[in-house]
Structure 1
Amino acid sequence: WNSQPTEESRQAMYASGKFKKPYCSRCKTSTHWTSKCRRTSNNGTDRPTETKEKPNSSSSSKSKGKPKDRALFAAFGTMNVSASKIPNATTWWIDSGSCFHMCGQKNMLTNTKKPEFNRQILVANGHKLNVEAVGSSHVVLNDSQREISDVKYVPNLQANLLSVSTLIDKGYCVTFDPEGCKIFDEDSFKVEGELVATGSVENGLYKLDAGSSMCANVAESLVPDSHSLWHRRLGHLNHHSMKLLKNGLATGIKFTESRTPTLCVSCVKGKQSRKPFPRDKNKTVAENPLDLVHSDILGPVDPSFSGRKYLLTFIDDFSRKTFVYFLKTKDEVPHYFEIFRALVETETERRIKTWRTDNGLEFCNQMIQSICEKNGIKHQRTVPYSPSQNGLA
């Protein structure tokens, strides 16, 4: 079960000695372990690293040619800046949508020089800003002073932007969490957890690695659906009612109309009706008994005391006399047909000429065929799904 233990059950587990009670040496509390503490020192400052550094690694191997005093640091965005409030001129904003470091105050830069070639910055509203100089800036952190190199001076820029992609190119790792943004040394940084999504770097910007199908679905959702699609969604509704739904009778139904809607084959097949067989006024009845005998079988019905649940009928077309036999199973039809034939032929001293049935397997088998061929009986079978041809039975 995923339910958390209550405080009473947790205290009972600690008292039994099976579980050790947690204790944090930093917070001086017994609510969590020191390894899971959010504080890293007694003065309440946040710890600079997320994981332990690699063992047996010298400072020269960590620096990889970078300045020795480049320690790990963290920047937290805790200020709620509104659109109408101008940010502080000396504040740096960490921006993952910026291609490089940018500054709007030239007095914040040192060692300035002209850019090697003309470069323009494209901002969100489509305007272009010119880069007039490139230099370095210094920022004071909690433990030391850091130099930000290769900063572009852009006049009239309202905020100083610290580019995430540029930091990563220089060997740092940047993370974002509910507490803020943290920048770490690449050598001692490690990420643990399930990978959800990835992004690719293009011209200093991060593009989400999303499949083309997602973009296609978004594009398709903006286009109204076709008339035939809504016709199928609404259970093959008629065109007049669909037009009423679109014109305000319902909400969310949008489709493109056409003067000649596409013919729905399913509607044509499903709404077809079979015309009844025409009544033959010149229909004649058999001239003599046993010239034509109609048969059919009924069941299964509730079984009788002897277990019989099928009824086999024989109707003489001339006299309309009906004979009924009770069967346990359908495979008894040949046996009772022999009994009926022997009975009526003996009583009338005539022979059965034609026997009309449907296409059920109880009437269409080798035993029935053998009986008809042996006694010269013509076996007439109706057209499939046309019980009207044997309507008398």
Structure 2
Amino acid sequence: EDALKKAEKFKLKQASKSLNRNSSLESETVQASAAVTTALFSKPQKITSEYPLRVSFILDSGSDGHICNDFSRFSNYYSKKSTAVAGSGNSEILGYGTVFMRISTGLFQLNEVAYIPSFYTSLASLIRLQAAGISLNTDRLYFYCRENEYNELKLSSTSIFSAKNLSLEKTSTLSDTKKWHERLGHPSNKVLQKVLSNQNKNPRLLPKEIPECESCKLAKATRIVKRKQPTSRATRLFYRIFVDLFSLPVSYNNKKVALLIKDDFTKIIFFYPLPNSTSSEIIRCFDSLQNYLKCQFSLEICVIHRDNDVALQKEYQNFITKHGIEDEPTAPYTPAQNGSAERSGGVISTKARTM
């Protein structure tokens, strides 16, 4: 009996040692597998563009979701931060969207693709493909999806997982054009055509006409003005002058109004900064210019073309009556008829604000 008990104890001890040895081997295998997975897919310290599969999609039978590391491939993208577990490490997901891959039959669409820029390569989940009705024939190495009982669509395995940068080969459609138009802050069609041509090297894939954005029509609408030229143009220096009065930011010497006088014949401009827009200040500038022209060139001002500024009222009327000057006021609330001086004033005021 003692011998039988000793034999049973020996068998139990041997079985226990064998079990511990097997579990130790399994643990080492799992740890090694986790280390390889973590080294491949966890966030690296430095990702180089020399990795040959960085711009490719790899079929992954263990991933439960599609992953892409190139933001330029996304459309319908939205930000939603979360964490993806790869092996024993974690990678940050910045958002989700739709990604198109070019295959032999056209474009292959992947939905709800996670954007993880830290991944070395992009992944297509076999689980997600099978859930969408796309299966892998492991014997002949092609993908197929059954549309009905008799027909099946074959997708070549080599055409999906290409090592080219597919984002440069994507066909530009009207929806892509609208997307880039909104992303770039509603630029003009000329700028948009240049961006699309830089993305797509094949001009035949570009849309021939880009419809105007509805928001641009409303936000960028401008008033169309027909600027009728005067019936007679000046035939000598300072025969007709254009006058405009506009405000400026207060200068260091407390000047906050500017009087601009432009000669119709030579387009020369006289600029007078003023402390205020009273009639006395404006008449003083007219007297100064009139005396300068008379003394230096023996010239007289004959016509003053102006807008209906409130400062050019009673004293101004007395001035032109005294000197025999013809008055040419614009129509009420139509400063565009004084276009020559208005445009020059706009340029000067913009430069002044800039400097």
TM-score, length-scaled by structure 2: 0.31
Name whichever structure is richer in helix by fraction. 2
- Which structure has more relative contact order (CA 8 Å, sep 6+)? It is 2
Compare CA radii of gyration and give the structure with the larger one: 1
Q: TM-score, normalised by structure 1?
A: 0.28
